[in-house]
Amino acid sequence: MTAHTALLACSQGQSVKIPRAHRRILSTVTGLVVAALFSLLVILNLLPLIWGMLTSLKGEPDLFRFPPVIFDFTPTLENYQRVIDSGFLGNMRASLVYCVVTVVAALTLALPAAYAFDRFNFPLRQPLFLLIVASIPLSLGAAALLIPNYLYFTKLGLTNAWFTLPLIYTAHQLPMAIWIMKGTLEGIPKELDEAAIADGATHFEVLRHIILPLSRPALGAAGVLTFVGSWNEFVASSVMVDSPGLRPIQPAIYNFIGFFGREWGPLTASAMLAIIPILITFALLGRLIVSGLTKGSVKG
C-alpha cells in the first residue's frame, strides 16, 4: 500500500492494515528510542554519584587542580579517615535508630488508621481523610512548621532527647503511610472481614490475621518511603537537637561546609557514606514500592 492510498483510506474512514514488516520496524524504532531515553536518564542520575565518589578519593592537591581531572590522580582514603575520626559513624548510628523507630511507629499507627477509614463509617470520615491526604507534603519536610514545633517541644521539655526526632519524623511520614495502606485495603474484599466476623472473630483479629498478611507489600512500600524520608530530613534535625551524640547524619554532613568554604574532600566522602543505607534499602526492598503502590489499583 502506497502512502497516497493509505492517506486516502484514512480520509474516508477506512481502517488501514499496516504490513507486518512495517510493524516490526516501528516496534524496533520505538524500543530503541525508549532504550536511548532510559539510558540518558540513567547517565544523568549516575554522573553526580560517580563524580562525588571520585572527588572523595582525591587528595587536597588533586581537588584544586585546573582543569579538573577525572581519573588522572592518586586515590587516597584520607578524606574517609578524616570523616570517621570526626565521629561521623556515631551520627550514622543515631540516624539509623531514629529511622527504625520512625518506621515501626508509623506502620503501627498507619495500618489500623487505614483499616478504620476503609471499613467503618463515622462522622467526618471523608473530611478527615482529605485532611490526611493534604498533609502528605509533610513527608518531604515542613519547614513552615519548624518554629511552632520548636516552641511547643521546648515548652514541653521534649527537645534534645533521643525521642525528639522520631516524634517529628513519625508525624511527617504518617499521612503518606496511611494513604498507601488505605489504597491497598480498598483492594482487599470486605467479604473476608464479614466471613471472619461471622465466625466469631473480632476486628482486631481480622486486622491481625487477614489484613496484615495481605497488606505486607504496602507495609514494605510505606516502610521504605518512611525510612528514606526520615534519613534525608535536614531542617528539623538541625534545630531540634544540638547534642553531638544525638545529631543525625544530615547536619553532620553540613558541618563540612565551613565558614571559609566547602571542604570538598570530606564533604563528598561523608555524602558517599550517607547514601550506603539508602542503596542497601532500595536494593533489598525497592521492588516493594511498585508492588505496594499498585496492589490497590485493582479491586476484588
Task: Write the pLDDT tens digit of every residue in 99-134.
Answer: 999 999 999 999 999 999 988 888 888 999 999 988
Confidence of residue 265 (pLDDT cuts 50, 70, 90): confident
pTM of full prediction above 0.85: no
Domain architecture of the chain: domains with CATH: 79-297 (1.10.3720.10)
Q: How many CB atoms are closer than 10 A to CB 17? A: 11
Q: What is the pLDDT of residue 149?
A: 86
How far apart are alpha carbons 245 and 160 in whole angstroms? Answer: 10
Q: How many whole angstroms from its chain centre is CA 91?
A: 20
Strand partners, 262: 257
Confidence of residue 292 (pLDDT cuts 50, 70, 90): low
Reported as a single tens digit per residue, the pLDDT across 156-167 is: 888 888 899 999
Confidence of residue 300 (pLDDT cuts 50, 70, 90): very low
* Amino acid (one-letter) located at 179: W
Instruction: Tell me the pLDDT of the chain averaged across its residues.
Output: 83
